[in-house]
Amino acid sequence: MAAGEERQKLFHDIVEHLRGSCRSLTEAYAAFECEDLDNDEAFCDYLDSELFMCDDCGWWAEVGEGDGEKCEDCSDDEDED
């Protein structure tokens, strides 16, 4: 496997690790032993294209769910108020 493909797979695995969880990025970096990704623009761009962290509950929601800053659950709560 080419180095670029391996890196792409690592990005994918980390995003899957975070998806639907409240894990912190720090935890994910530690789990994959890749703390250097914290400053990696390619990874940040990839993560931003897949998931966002809910402002309210810290849940990793799919891009396109909720209002872009809060997950579906948290943005629903606001509508009901």
Given the rule CB under 5 A, which residues bind Zn ion? 54, 56-57, 59, 71, 74
CA dist., res. 59 & res. 24, Å (int): 9
Backbone CA torsion sign across 15, 21, 27, 32: negative
Shortest Cβ distance from residue 2 to Zn ion (Å)?
Answer: 38
CA 66-34-49 angle, to 5 degrees, is 25
Shortest Cβ distance from residue 24 to Zn ion (Å)?
Answer: 15
Of 34 and 74, CB closest to Zn ion: 74
Of 5 and 79, CB closest to Zn ion: 79
Shortest Cβ distance from residue 59 to Zn ion (Å)?
Answer: 5
- Those residues with Cβ within 8 angstroms of residue 46's Cβ, 6 or more apart along the chain or in another chain: 11, 15
Of 38 and 48, CB closest to Zn ion: 48
